[in-house]
Amino acid sequence: MTVSLRELADQPETLAPGHGLCAGCSESIVVRQVLYALGKPAVVSLATGCLEVSTTKFPETAWLSPMIHSAFENAATTISGVEAAYKALVRKGRLEARDIAFVVFAGDGATYDIGLQWLSGALERGHRFLYICINNEGYMNTGIQRSGATISGTWTTTTPVGPALQGKAEWRKDMTAIVAAHRIPYVAQSAVHAWKDLMTKVQRGAAVDGPAFINVLAPCNRGWRHDPKDTIRISKLATDTCLWPLYEVDHGVWRLSHRPRQREPITGWFQSQGRFSHLLKDENKGLVDGIQRRIDEEWKELLERCKGSAN
């Protein structure tokens, strides 16, 4: 399974232009990469979020695939119902069997927080679906609030900076590992800049007979406070600092997908976005050092897990 730019250029469009996503937004890039990579028709389930409200404003829709949005937390369960319907209708001879992908796009709020139970249930039941978490580290659709994916020290509208608090106090949860603990066939982390990595992982995830989950880092220039033109550069910085390593857990085997040639210190990440401007002050050096240590520990732990597998 390889993906070439030449083949990509020949693919028909998967998400119609004219939608309302911001200039420089990662989400449409992720969606198009995922749907291109599938190479087969998809039925899509969306969680409530920027992607859904920006692509479906009645009477228009940007969706060229059949798509359903039900609520914020239940996108994984909605696709469970679609997949179950497909199985039942084919079994009863009312629908012709064909190769379709069942795909969910949901943000980090819908995945890490409000929809965790619904996702966990769908994973445990083993439906055949590919779940793409488009992770922009916060509730951006409702106006940049902290989520379970936001790291400590981050400014958001619910973790503002003041004399008593320097942004979010808590660390993020390790959602990818939580999903991997469900022992589903395929789990991965990717990022919007790593198109080849993401598309290869989508193909692996779509090929398994069961659930697959890919957690994709997706910078939000409005929430992260950076220039729209820097989306891809900033996404790359997340992997170069090892804040967001690229790896996969393929049938239980942990494999590193990318090892940065030279690890960048986390300060470069903080300098690249306005949401971290307070961390550049001298009095917050202790906080920054603490975050660097945390990233170092997690990186070391990941390397340990990936030991023995080729990368």
Partner 1 sequence: MARQVRAGSVRIQARGNAVALSGGEAVAYAMRQIDPDVVAVYPITPQTVIVEAFSESVAEGKVGTEMIHVESEHAALSACIGAAAAGARAHTATSGPGLALMWEVLGVASGMRLPIVMHLCTRALSAPINIMCDHSDAMAMRDLGWVMLFGENPQEAYDQALIVQRVAEHRDVLLPSVNVIDGFTVTHSVEGVEVLPDEVVASFVGTYSPLYSLLDPQRRVTFGALDPNEYYYEHKRQQIEAMKNALPVVAATLQEFGELTGRHYNLVEEYRTEDAEVVLVVMGSTAGTVRIAVDNLREDGVRAGVVRVRCFRPFPAEEVAQALRRAKLVGVLDRSLSLGAPGSSLYLEVMAALSQRMLSPYLVNVVHGLGGRNTPVRIIKEAFSQLRLMGLEEQRREPILYLGVRE
Q: Which residues bind partner 1 (CB under 8 A)?
A: 41, 43, 45-46, 52-53, 56-59, 61, 63-71, 73-74, 77-89, 91-92, 94-95, 98, 100, 117-118, 120-121, 124-125
Please give the C-alpha separations between residue 2 and each of 7, 32, 37, 167, in angstroms, as whole numbers: 10, 17, 10, 42
Of the pair 89, 165, the CB lying nearest partner 1 is at 89
How far apart are alpha carbons 90 and 217 in whole angstroms? 36
Least Å distance, CB 98 to partner 1, is 7
Of the pair 125, 225, the CB lying nearest partner 1 is at 125
Of the pair 86, 299, the CB lying nearest partner 1 is at 86
CB 252 within 8 A of CB 307: no
Least Å distance, CB 199 to partner 1, is 22
Of the pair 2, 58, the CB lying nearest partner 1 is at 58
Of the pair 140, 242, the CB lying nearest partner 1 is at 140
How far apart are alpha carbons 37 and 11 in whole angstroms? 10
How far apart are alpha carbons 237 and 178 in whole angstroms? 24
Please give the C-alpha separations between residue 309 and each of 130, 158, 216, 273, in angstroms, as whole numbers: 24, 41, 22, 35
Least Å distance, CB 212 to partner 1, is 18
Least Å distance, CB 252 to partner 1, is 23
Query: For 24, which DSSP code?
Result: T
Least Å distance, CB 17 to partner 1, is 16
